[in-house]
Structures are given as C-alpha cells and as structure tokens.
Structure 1
Amino acid sequence: MQDMAFFLGSFLSLFAIVSPLSGVVTFVSLTNNITFEEKNIIANKSVILACIIALFFAFTGGLILDFFSITIDSLRIAGGVLLFVVAFDMILGKVSRESITDSEIDSSIDRSDIWIFPIALPLLTGPGAISTVIVLMSSAASVIQSISVIVSILLTFAISLVLFRFSRRIYKFVGYTGMLVFTRLMGLLLAALAVNFIATGLWNTYVSFITLP
C-alpha cells in the first residue's frame, strides 16, 4: 500500500512538472509550418531525448549530489522554490520562464534542431523536472520504490509522446481556453508539491542541526 502511494505520488509529481498537455500549445506553435510526418518525427525524437535525460539524472543524481557535497534536503528546498516559481507562472496561465521564453520560441521556429532545444530541453525536462527526479529517487526507501520512480518517468513521457503526436487534433478539440484551465490546475498541484518539498527540506535540516553534537 505504501509502495503504491509512493508510485502515485511520484507519477503525479512528474506529470505535473512536465505538464505535457500544457506543452502542446508550444509544440504546436513550433511545428505549425511542417508536415504531419515531420511533426511526428520531431515528437518522437524530442520525447525520447527528454526521457533519456530524466533517466540519466534518476540514476546519477545521487552521485552528483555526493560529488558536490549537496544534501538531499538542500535540493528539496532549492527545487521547491524553483517549482513554486513554475507553478505561479502556470496558475497565471503563462509559459513558465523556467522552461522556455517567448523570444526563444520565436527564434526556434525556423531551426531544424528544435527537437533538442527547446522541446526536449528545457520544455519537457527543465531544471524543475530534473530536481524532482533526483529528489524522488533519493526519497525511495526500497528497490520497489526506486523502480516506481523509473516507471513513473517512462509513463509520463509515454503520455507526452501520445499527446505530442496528436497535438494538432488535441489543440483543435480542447482549444486554447481548455489548455489554460488544465495549466492552472497543474499549477495548483505543482504549488502544493513545491510547498511540501520546502517544508520537508526545512524540517529535516532543522532536525539535523539540533541533533549535532
């Protein structure tokens, strides 16, 4: 039961920060002037690359923290602040400054490598997503929970791939207003996650401080 709760929490956390349905608007604007086949190729390559990046930090995040002598609670606090900034932008219905800016979208439209930047990185796997992956993996208390994080990553990007491949149909069906509503809902969930990260990090840091000899 505890492992299932951890899996659901991991998946919802990753899905909220990646927010693929919100990214559909940006993806459509970047691929509006190309054919369906070219759009699908970009969707495949960008989502696969984003997934690989997330998995890379899932497996190496702990080593990176150890190398720089950064505690997991420090990352929780820093990541929580970053996630809250992203969530605030989402609640206001804006494209997050953490993921991609309007000027970057404009300058990327005519480039052939948009599947790398800005779609794979940082639209899908920005600093917020990377921080979340590392925190979740470091919080896993068993092998089953570690596997749950990996499955959550794969499931999140599998859904992202489906949404991106059908992005034009989804955009026509849901519309810009529907996208804004979903973005605000994900922003609210992400804000709660950010507060939880910060509160847990601060409490653990405080406990560690007062128990020092």
Structure 2
Amino acid sequence: MDDLAFLTYAFISIFVIVNPISGVVTFISLTSRMTFEEKNALAKKAVFLACIIALFFAITGNLMLDLFGINVDSLRIAGGILLFHVALDMMFAKVSRESITEHEISESQERSDIWIFPIALPLLTGPGTITTVIVFMGSTVSYGQKFLIVLSILLTFLVCMVIFLSSRRIYNHIGYTGMLVFTRIMGLFLAALAADFVTTGIWNVYTALSSAL
C-alpha cells in the first residue's frame, strides 16, 4: 500500500469512528443556551483536547500494551468487537452507549466543563477511537506510516473543528433526518472496519500459534 492509499485508509477509518456529524446533534443540545461566540470557544477547546488525547494514546499505546503484556492482535480482536457494537448503534441511529448515555447528556446540561466531559471525552475520543489509533500504531513498523497515522488524526480533528464551528448551519441545512442517514452510512463502514479488525486479529493469532507449535 503506497503512502497516499495508507493515509486515506487511516483517515477514513479514524473519521468514521470519531463520527463528528453524529456528535453535532449532542453538541447542539448541550450548547443550545450559549451565544454563538461561547459555542465556538467551547468547540475549539473540546476538539483540541480530543485531538491531544488521541495523539497521546497513539504515541504511548505500544508502551501501554507492553506494560500490561497485551498483544496488539488481542487488542485488535477486542477492539473489533467493541467497534461492531458501536456500528450497530449507529446503524439503528441510537446514541452509542460506548460513548455516552442519554442520562449523562441530560446531567451535563448545567455543567460548565462540558467541553471536557462529555464532548472531548468520550463523545469525540471514546474507547473506540483510542483502540483504533493504538491498533494502527501497533500494526506498523515504518516510521513513515506512523507519521501518516498521526497526520490522519490531525486531519480528522481539523475536519471536526470545522464541523463543530458550523454545527448550527449544518443542522439547519441537512436537518435531524439527514444526520440520521449519514450516521447509518458511517455505521455500515464502521461495521466493515470492525470485521476487518476481528478477522485480521484472529488470523494473526492463529498464525503465531501455528508457528510456535
């Protein structure tokens, strides 16, 4: 796979699991009482923090796996199962319980730090995103590809920033129904990514065990 194809694959995969379009509905509901300037300031802080969290786990993920003695393929299988659960929620247009529950959204209405929780973590950078970036970084040995993964993370959250800053205009143009359609399509792609994670992880574990025998 050449660099452009790998960057495209990494960017699309991370963008699908972050799914900022789906997050717009929650973001609008949490910032409905804010002025335009307050909403934009909160969006910038939330997306910046989410990006930092994703980069942190991308860079330190291998160290964490070594610390806990976890093989990257074991995480790939577990992550694939988690992503498939999230994908099912997306295809049925439900708020994914992997990211945030309806009760947590309701309780967050009156808090001043909603840009930290629940927007940055876990709405944008939840367990699914963290698992994905760790698996990607752990699956590559080339520093060039690792750089492309970091670049894809930065591009994903740059797009997130644009989407959140334009959230009310996007909502006015495509409406709630349009967002549900987009979420279902992203759910289908995420399910395919989850299947790839699980099958690749199982095959790699099987190959490693066969070689050891």
TM bucket (normalised to shorter chain) is over 0.9
CA distance in 1, matches of 2:209, 2:102: 43
Alpha-carbon separation, structure 2, partners of 1:212 and 1:116: 45
Residues 125-164 of structure 1: pairs in structure 2 closer than 5 A = 125-164=125-164
Residues 128-176 of structure 1: per-residue CA shift (max 9 Å, x gap): 0000000111122311111110010000000001110111111011100
Partner of 2:212, secondary structure, is: coil
5+ residue gaps, structure 1, are none
1:94 aligned partner: 94
Query: Post-superposition shift, 1:211?
Result: 1.2
Deviation at 1:179, TM superposition (A): 0.1
In the TM superposition, what is the alpha-carbon distance from 1:7 to its structure 2 partner? 0.9
User: How far apart, in 2, do the equivalents of 1:81 and 1:100 lie?
Assistant: 18
1:195 and 2:183 are equivalent in the alignment: no
Partner of 2:38: 38
Aligned length, in residue pairs: 213
What does the per-residue CA deviation read over 1:16-71, in whole Å, with 9 as the maximum and x for residues that have no partner? 00000111011000000111111011101000000000000011000000000000
Give the superposition deviation at 1:3: 2.0
Distance 1:134 1:4 in 2: 20
Further displaced range: 140-149 or 49-58 = 140-149
Q: 2:109 matched to which residue of 1?
A: 109
Between 29-38 and 139-148, the greater mean CA deviation after superposition = 139-148
Distance in 1 between residues matched to 2:172 and 2:86, nearest whole Å: 26
Matches of 1:44 and 1:150 in 2, distance apart? 19
Distance 1:109 1:166 in 2: 21
With normalisation by structure 2, the TM-score equals: 0.98
C-alpha distance in 2 between matches for 1:43 and 1:63: 31
Residue identity matched to 1:28: I
Give the counterpart letter for 2:3 in structure 1: D
> Percent identity, aligned pairs only?
63
Q: Distance in 1 between matches of 2:178 and 2:16?
A: 16
1:212 and 1:140 map into 2 onto residues whose CA distance is 22
Where has structure 1 moved over 6 Å in runs of 4 or more?
none
